[in-house]
Amino acid sequence: MLLQSHDLTKSFGGLVAVNQLSLKVEKGTILGIIGPNGSGKTTFFNLITGMLPSDSGKVIFNGQEITKLRPHRIARLGVGRTFQIPAPFSKMTVLENVMVSAFLHTSSMKTAKKKAEEVLKKVDLDEKADFQVLNVTLEDRKRLELARALAIEPILLLLDEVMSGLTPVEVKSAINLIKQMHRQGLTIIVVEHVMDVILSLCDRVAVLDYRRKIAEDTPQKIVNHPEVIRAYLGERYRARG
Amino acid sequence: MPLKNGHTQPHTSASSWRWALLGLALLIAFLLPWPLSPLWIRIATEVIMWAGLAQSWNIIGGYTGYLSFGHGAFFGVGAYMTGIVMLHLGWPFALGILISGIAAALMAVIIGYPTLRLRGAYFAIATWAFGEMIRQIATILEITGGAFGMQLPAYLNLPFFYYLFLLVTGLTYLTTYLLLERSPFGYKLLAIREHEEAAEMVGVDTVIIKIKAFALSAFFPGVLGGIYAYWVTYIHPDSVLGAQLTDFMVVMAFLGGIGSLWGPFLGAVVVQLVNRVLWLVWGEGTFYLVIIGAAICAVVLFIPSGIIGLLQSRIFLPGTAWKEIRKKVKW
């Protein structure tokens, strides 16, 4: 088991954002997390990466408890994440953005640059390496998010709605990209609203509703799960399963 | 210059042109004291000192994005430290300024550890309060001479101080160039400035990096303060710990262009020269503050990236600058 959360809970004042969430991710698999807006998906990522302190519960990554670790320590252990709304270092070039990640493993400018160029090639962004981030499109910013996360050489990758705002063609190429990274041995958790993405990518799917996990199963079974259909999918998806 | 806004591709011809310009500027700086009268040597010395102070502020304020409004305190601590070391301990001046720099840096570490978690206005207020605190302490302590200040042994050698300031200020620019423009440390600082959470997510230990930057940006004002104390020989809380010290560092850095290597230098030259010329024309007074205030308003409104931004965007050609301004302002 690469990642496990036990009864993870987080509330903001009186509002419970994540309620006793227990999830397991097997090494080498892709877990999808779906659920309506406000069901605690992004908060769950923020708890795993240490961006938010949890109220109670535990996170175990690669056999080590990481619940109380600071974010940069968790990143160093091999947890990479992308932000739902791209959060680039705006006044730097695309290449420099990725170099910041590469400095995690090297303090040589040359090595970092080479590493960053490699990663940019992987996400098909190498031609825009010298662009200022301010001058690239949303799709490219999403690719940059991915490149920055990949350049820390993660074992586990958390993707927070990387598809939102992309055109169908762009979504297709993004899916291929994620599949390719998966084949290279990455374990991935995907938060996504686009069901087709979840169906074509994930080995297992967890469904959150009202801050709780209401179901966890294979994609085929999830789309026929009565409570999931009621809470999130709607009748449309039942026939397809 | 990969970290500059705008142009990212290094042009060989442009960069060799830059080195030639830098060489010429250094040559002029070395020869400057010969043709100048003592008054103008003093003014040139001040300009160079301010260029160093503005750059020091730029390390934390420009590159890291944390606006420190207590930076004058590091200068003052440096000045008093050298005074104490020379006067009470009888140690040599060189040792004094070294101790001054280290004391200022240590103080930055102690102050930075709790305050660097605050962002924006809160950090500014916290550092401002720290600066005031240091001034009050200097006013009541016996070892600093209280409100009367301190009289250091006089060493009347203008060129000596000119060259010493030139050396230390030169070191601030060299350090900025090597550590902030050309090393992982600088990249991490920019990442923190642009998006602190994202920087943490890619493994940047933001706490340590910020404290290092703050200590570095305090070290040089400490040293410069020490030299200043020996130069002017008489220091008191208002002269080396007044709020104006911080204000001018901030103003110079902003006017020249924050987060750039040469912006603070240009800002210091312009502000201090204007300051002194107005002083020569009108004598002692505070009217120059009005003019400088108006200049700041103009910078914030029309050229937020400072003089250096104007030069880099190449709109500073006859006619085009005016057109740019016309475009931005609805008359």
Region of A92 on the Ramachandran plot (φ > 0 left; ψ -120 to 50 alpha; else beta): beta
Beta strands in chain B (DSSP E): 150-151, 234-235
Say if residue B8's pLDDT is above 50: no
Would you kindly state where each structural domain of chain B is located, as residue ranges? 37-328
Question: Which residue from B minimizes the CA distance to A96?
Answer: B187
Identify the CATH class of A3-78+154-240: alpha beta
Say if residue B314's pLDDT is above 70: no
H helix count then E strand count, chain A: 10, 10
Say if residue B264's pLDDT is above 90: yes
Confidence (pTM): 0.89
CA distance A176 to A157: 16
For residue A5, what are the β-bridge partners?
A: A23, A59
3-state helix, strand, coil in chain A (%, to 5): 40, 25, 35
Instruction: Flag if B191 and A100 touch (Cβ within 8 Å).
Output: yes
**Range from A7-11, A146-150, B278-282, B288-292 carrying the lowest mean pLDDT:** B288-292
List, in order, residues 6 or more apart from B17 with CB less than 8 Å away: none
Q: Count the Cβ atoms, other than its own, within 10 Å of residue A71.
A: 23
CA distance A54 to A181: 30
Among B2, B9, B188, the residue with its CB nearest the CB of A100 is B188
| Whether the Cβ atoms of residue B299 and residue B250 lie closer than 8 Å to each other | no
Structure tokens at A23: 């999830």
**Range from A1-5, B93-97, B116-120, B130-134 carrying the lowest mean pLDDT:** B116-120
Dihedral through CA A236, CA A237, CA A238, CA A240, nearest 10?
A: 110
Instruction: Flag if B183 and A99 touch (Cβ within 8 Å).
Output: no
3-state secondary structure of A35: coil
Q: What is the ipTM of this complex?
A: 0.91
A92-111 pLDDT, tens digit per residue, is 999 999 999 999 999 999 99
Q: Count the Cβ atoms, other than its own, within 10 Å of residue B99.
A: 20
List, in order, residues 6 or more apart from A226 with CB less than 8 Å away: none
List, in order, residues 6 or more apart from A90 with CB less than 8 Å away: A133, A134, B194, B195
Q: Which residue has the tokens 């085009």?
A: B320
Q: In this complex, is the C-beta atom of B268 within 8 Å of any C-beta atom belonging to chain A?
A: no
Q: Which amino acid, residue A63? A: G
Who has greater pLDDT, B120 or A41?
Answer: A41
CB burial of residue B150 (10 Å; 0-12, 13-18, 19+): buried
pLDDT for B4: 42
CA distance A178 to A80: 14
Among A87, A99, A132, the residue with its CB nearest the CB of B195 is A87
Q: Residues 138 to 167 of A: which have CB under 8 A from any B CB?
A: 148-149, 151-152
CATH topology of domain B37-328: ABC transporter involved in vitamin B12 uptake, BtuC (1.10.3470)
For residue A23, what are the β-bridge partners?
A: A5
List, in order, residues 6 or more apart from B311 with CB less than 8 Å away: none
Would you kindly state where each structural domain of chain A is located, as residue ranges? 3-78+154-240, 88-151
Q: In this complex, is the C-beta atom of A81 within 8 Å of any C-beta atom belonging to chain B?
A: yes
Q: Closest by alpha carbon to B18, among B36, B35, B1?
A: B1
Q: In this complex, is the C-beta atom of B8 within 8 Å of any C-beta atom belonging to chain A?
A: yes
Among B2, B8, B202, the residue with its CB nearest the CB of A104 is B202
Q: In this complex, is the C-beta atom of B197 within 8 Å of any C-beta atom belonging to chain A?
A: yes
Among B2, B9, B201, the residue with its CB nearest the CB of A75 is B201
Q: Would you place residue B7 in the very low, low, confident or very high pLDDT band (cuts 50, 70, 90)?
A: very low
A24-53 pLDDT, tens digit per residue, is 999 999 999 998 888 889 999 999 999 999
Q: Closest by alpha carbon to B59, among B251, B213, B196?
A: B213
Region of B5 on the Ramachandran plot (φ > 0 left; ψ -120 to 50 alpha; else beta): beta
| Burial letters B55-76, b for 16+ CB under 10 A, else e | bbbbbbbbbbbbbbbbbbbbbb
* Chain A CB contacts of B188 below 8 Å: 100, 103
Instruction: Flag if B201 and A112 touch (Cβ within 8 Å).
Output: no
